[in-house]
Chain A
Amino acid sequence: MATSGVADRGSTERSSDTKIWNNPTVRGVFWQIVLIVAVLGSAAYLASNAIDNLARQHIASGFGFLNRESGFDISEKLVQYEPSDTYRDAFLVGLLNTFEVAGLGVVLATILGTLIGVARLSPNWLLRKLAQCYVELWRNLPLLLQLFFWYALLHVAAPGPRDAWNPLPDVFISNRGLMFPTPSADPSHKFIWIAFFVGVVASIGLDWWGRKRQEATGKPFPILAASAALIIGLPVLVLLATGAHMTLDKPVMQGFNFAGGSSFSPELTALLIGLVVYTASYIAEIVRSGILAVSHGQTEAAGALGLQRGLVLRLIVLPQALRVIIPPMTSQYLNLTKNSTLAVAIGFPDLVFVAQTQINQTGQAIEGIGIIMATYLAISLSISLLMNIYNARIALKGR
């Protein structure tokens, strides 16, 4: 019965082929035109509403406010900023703060996530189970709740600056955040940086040369030891040569709070802990499945070839695991960056936080939200683009 139904339909379609609206191409074009008209029409309708509303409510439009004085202070800034500076400067401060959180968060979450992911595969039952508990606990709670929790914890548990915890010499934890010493600036330091970069470049070159030589002669080159010596040794040599100007700027209790050194505010600390702990629980699973994805046969085959354990890991397991790990890892990094917008709930002045203050003061919501969306779209799309290029390069070449 079903076949006859299909046949009927087929015959009716064929018989009406002459009618123009049954031509698939014509229909496709028609529906697309309808869609364009509908989309443009609603856009125009909404825009005209917005123009009317803004005029009626005396709200300015356009980005002119960016050049006006903002009037509000921002508690954490990586660049100089005063309330007398413009909204443009305020947005820049917010953007840099977003990058700061995202950058630190990505590095720390990768380290923690990898440790937990490896622990998930540990031969030790207890460690394995604890790692699993970690993953299950943090994955199944809303990030916002976690942020509120960490922030409350930093307030309640940590002492005031006068009786700050002192876990390491010159490192203090109090409810003012985390204080730690940093090397004080010295003109000789730029040579150390130069030496560091020379070391990095030389290592890359050496690695390339070592591979060539191994391909040609089969002799392996101890690249790890050599690059470590270059990257660490060169700057140390320069430091000694320039007279060892290495003094530390240490945090010291002064008046109300610590002065000197560097510090992370509790807001930044809570946000970082929250983002890192949450994202690490996802990264752990990615790392675990990445390692498991390399089939056991590969490791055994490499062992049968007589490769050492370290080489097996470096030449066989890691490259294959990375191919599985990197795409989901990138999307976790993006998630972390997007999740950092929850800073607004605990008072860390990221981009969204600055925009929210701007909207509240000027009433120009469209522009404020536009700036946030454009920024995040730019970040997301450029990362996606890089990912696509990367994926195309590492994809298994067709078999």
Chain B
Amino acid sequence: MKRILASAVLTLALGTAATAEAGQTLDNIKSKGVLTCGVNDKTAGFGAADSAGKYAGLDIDVCRAVATAILGSPDKIKFVPLSAPQRFTALQSGEVDILSRNTTWTLGREAQLGLLFGPTVFYDGQGFLVKKSANIKSAKQLSGATVCVQPGTTTELNLADYFRANKLELKPVVIENLDEVENAFFTGRCDAYTTDSSGLASTRVSKAPKPDDYVILPELISKEPLAPAVRQGDDQFYDIMRWSVFALLQAEEKGITSKNVDAMLKSDDPDIKRFLGVTEGNGKSLGVDEKWAYNIIKNVGNYGEIFERNVGKGSPLKLERGLNDLWTTGGLMYAPPAR
């Protein structure tokens, strides 16, 4: 009897504690002192574990930036690896505070699933990788071809749409595991492999027996803006997430890097002074430490550094900046003024 009573009390306690927490993601993060971040653990460059078990990647660094803004440290963070079908449930149910897992920003996901996407951290588009010897010049020639694709993603839907729109015959081979799906392509199981072009480029370089034997077709059949997402209901937390990403862009635009950020504190540029919290105000309005942007750049680096380190020249993937360059150098990356 005692036990039943105890469990009843426990249920009640948990229930009430939970209602107090509902909607207040930011307070919750601050009181726990840790940001819970849903990530991918099987995509090199965006989120993967090294031999010592540490996560690294572009999506991982976005989480670190947000954690730094709120908690002042890039290590006060708990990573939760999620599979594609799990990711939205985990975010909706509060298992994770933020989802930074190469997720495409779509209308359906915001409206139907009750999410809010932050700024795009990686502009991607779906393309096709084929064998050069197959002598294909355009995706329109792919009728009847077997196409390897990962399931449960917008990639799979785009592929079906594109083939339907162009009246091509499609034979998809749908494989969940990234390693398996790439293996399937390179061993000839499929004639073409489709995923985001960034992924194709990295796959071609890192996985192909001879990279020159493979070509990426010119068509991009979709827009894939990859962005971090939070659940609806805590606007302040959403703002902090957005501005943490913008801070990465702003810093690159202003030439602030993790190496020179201390020197930049002495800069006379009023924008930089405001940005780094020398002139106070921004932090207070966001509800975080005045040094938030300084801390982010100092600990995580600016967007350019993050890009090069994880997916660019400094990584095995060797991706070009392309669309992901700053707007000042021909890309799409653009941060609103931080004032």
Are B177 and A256 in contact, CB atoms less than 8 angstroms apart? no
Contacts of A357 in B (CB 8 A): 85, 151-152, 156
A263 CB → nearest B CB, Å: 11
A396 CB → nearest B CB, Å: 46
Known pairs A360-B84, A363-B92; A83 contacts B164 (CB<8 A): yes
Are B112 and A58 in contact, CB atoms less than 8 angstroms apart? yes
A134: Cβ under 8 A from any B Cβ: no
Closest to B173 in A: A75
Query: Which of A10-18, A152-160, A222-230, A293-301 is the contact stretch?
Result: A152-160
State in angstroms the CA–CA spacing of A353 and B156 once bound together.
14
Contacts of A160 in B (CB 8 A): 187-188
Are B189 and A266 in contact, CB atoms less than 8 angstroms apart? yes
Within 8 A of A (CB), among B139-168: 144-146, 151-152, 156-157, 159-161, 163-164
State in angstroms the CA–CA spacing of A84 and B161 once bound together.
9
Within 8 A of B (CB), among A72-87: 72-75, 82-84
Are B173 and A59 in contact, CB atoms less than 8 angstroms apart? no
Are A175 and B176 in contact, CB atoms less than 8 angstroms apart? no
Are B164 and A84 in contact, CB atoms less than 8 angstroms apart? yes
Which of B4, B161, B181, B231 meets A57, CB within 8 Å? B231
A279 CB → nearest B CB, Å: 23
Contacts of B93 in A (CB 8 A): 53
State in angstroms the CA–CA spacing of A256 and B84 once bound together.
31
Are B180 and A356 in contact, CB atoms less than 8 angstroms apart? no
In this complex, the interface size class of chain B, counting residues with CB under 8 Å from chain A, is 35 or more
Contacts of B146 in A (CB 8 A): 176, 256-257
A344: Cβ under 8 A from any B Cβ: yes
Known pairs A267-B173, A346-B180, A359-B85; A156 contacts B111 (CB<8 A): no
A347: Cβ under 8 A from any B Cβ: yes
In this complex, the interface size class of chain A, counting residues with CB under 8 Å from chain B, is 35 or more
State in angstroms the CA–CA spacing of A265 and B191 once bound together.
14
Contacts of B174 in A (CB 8 A): 75, 347, 349, 353
Closest to B84 in A: A360
B183: Cβ under 8 A from any A Cβ: yes
State in angstroms the CA–CA spacing of A45 and B88 once bound together.
23
Are A56 and B176 in contact, CB atoms less than 8 angstroms apart? no
Closest to A52 in B: B22
B11: Cβ under 8 A from any A Cβ: yes
B217: Cβ under 8 A from any A Cβ: no
Known pairs A71-B160, A176-B189; A356 contacts B170 (CB<8 A): no
Contacts of A236 in B (CB 8 A): none
Contacts of B89 in A (CB 8 A): 359, 363, 365
Known pairs A58-B113, A175-B189, A256-B191; A356 contacts B172 (CB<8 A): no
B322: Cβ under 8 A from any A Cβ: no
Contacts of B78 in A (CB 8 A): none
A151: Cβ under 8 A from any B Cβ: yes
Within 8 A of A (CB), among B100-133: 111-114
State in angstroms the CA–CA spacing of A347 and B190 once bound together.
14
Given A59-B92, A347-B173, A363-B112, 17 new contacts (CB under 8 A): A45-B11, A53-B93, A57-B114, A57-B231, A58-B232, A73-B160, A75-B173, A82-B164, A83-B157, A175-B189, A256-B134, A256-B145, A257-B171, A266-B189, A347-B181, A353-B174, A363-B89
A-B contact pairs, 19 of them (CB 8 A): A57-B231, A58-B114, A59-B114, A72-B157, A73-B160, A73-B170, A75-B171, A75-B174, A148-B180, A155-B187, A155-B189, A160-B187, A175-B184, A175-B188, A255-B144, A353-B174, A357-B151, A359-B85, A360-B84
Q: What 8 A-B pairs have minimum CB-CB distances, sorted nearest first?
A: A160-B188, A347-B175, A360-B152, A58-B114, A83-B160, A73-B160, A155-B187, A360-B85
